[in-house]
């Protein structure tokens, strides 16, 4: 699954809707310190279901909602949509026939949150399962942040095994087995 487009509104420093188009090949994001480069990566991680505010460089989840600036009032909602192409057919069978998959996450200041796939409300679990074994998920290896290489090299064999299992495509089955045994 390849990212085609990201739409961000009300998330961190993005006030009005911003659409980022990803072309074939490598995309580089350039800009001065504090202009919002890392916020794009946070937006991607968040849309894919990140639950830990610290991994998004915040204290609480509310910190992802635009908190106001000298000239603008704070907003009441953050929304990030990621649009993936499904040309490689890697997505679960339920998405067969869809050329694009759109994953959306919304958070209101009231604390209420929503997840949507192709504009239909769904559970966080559905989003997590969608990305399992694709290497894309919030916990997988598609985002290599500062310190991650060192972390992988220094990890215990059991920890490193999680990455290998994700790459091999067995994460989904292990997760389902665990759920089944719990019931
Ligand atoms: P650097 O080159 O230093 O890594 P960067 O381009 O990665 O910079 P970011 O960390 O993405 O910059 O953006 C930081 C900016 O985002 C800061 O100006 C900060 O005030 C702003 N910001 C973060 N969260 C919010 C929020 N909830 N509301 C408004 N602005 C926010
Ligand atoms: Mg940065």
pLDDT of 180 reads: 94
- Whether the per-residue pLDDT at 25 is higher than 80: the answer is yes
Q: Is the ipTM reported for this complex over the cut 0.85?
A: yes
Atom of ligand 1 nearest to the CA of 31: 6
pLDDT of 138 reads: 63
Q: Residue 35: CB within 6 Å of ligand 1?
A: yes
- Whether the per-residue pLDDT at 97 is higher than 70: the answer is yes
CB atoms within 10 A of CB 105: 23
- Under the banding of pLDDT at 50, 70 and 90, the label for residue 133 is confident
Judge whether 4 and 21 are in contact, CB under 8 Å. yes
Residues with CB under 5 A from ligand 2 (ion): 37-38
Q: Residue 171: CB within 6 Å of ligand 1?
A: no
What ranges make up the beta strands (E) of the chain? 2-9, 18-21, 77-85, 100-108, 113-117, 120-122
Judge whether 2 and 86 are in contact, CB under 8 Å. no
27-38 confidence digits (pLDDT tens): 999 999 999 999
pLDDT of 82 reads: 97
86 C-alpha to ligand 1 centroid (Å): 31
111 or 134, which is more confident? 111
50-75 confidence digits (pLDDT tens): 999 999 999 999 999 999 999 999 99
Overall average pLDDT of the 92-103 stretch: 88
- Whether the per-residue pLDDT at 150 is higher than 70: the answer is yes
* Domains identified in the chain and CATH numbers: 2-124 (3.40.50.300)
- Whether the per-residue pLDDT at 90 is higher than 70: the answer is yes
38-49 confidence digits (pLDDT tens): 999 999 999 999
Give residue 56's Cα distance to chain centre.
Answer: 11
Q: With CA atoms as reference, report the closest residue to 49 among 130, 144, 168.
A: 130
- Whether the per-residue pLDDT at 136 is higher than 80: the answer is no
Average pLDDT, the chain: 92
Cβ burial of 149 (10 Å; 0-12, 13-18, 19+) is: exposed
- Whether the per-residue pLDDT at 137 is higher than 80: the answer is no
């Amino acid at each position: 699954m390849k990212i085609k487009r990201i739409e961000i509104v009300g998330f961190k420093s993005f006030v009005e809707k911003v659409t980022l188009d990803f072309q074939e090949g490598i995309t580089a994001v350039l800009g001065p310190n504090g202009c919002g480069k890392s916020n794009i990566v946070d937006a991607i991680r968040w849309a894919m279901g990140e639950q830990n505010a610290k991994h998004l460089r915040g204290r609480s989840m509310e910190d992802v909602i635009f908190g106001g600036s000298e000239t603008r009032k704070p907003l009441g909602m953050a929304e990030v949509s990621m649009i993936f192409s499904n040309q490689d057919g890697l997505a679960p069978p339920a998405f067969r026939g869809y050329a694009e998959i759109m994953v959306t996450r919304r958070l209101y200041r009231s604390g209420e949150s929503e997840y949507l796939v192709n504009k239909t409300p769904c559970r966080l679990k559905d989003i997590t399962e969608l990305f399992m074994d694709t290497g894309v998920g919030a916990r997988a290896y598609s985002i290599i942040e500062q310190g991650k290489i060192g972390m992988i090299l220094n990890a215990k064999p059991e920890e490193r095994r999680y990455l290998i299992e994700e790459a091999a495509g067995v994460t989904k089955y292990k997760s389902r087995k665990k759920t089944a045994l719990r019931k």
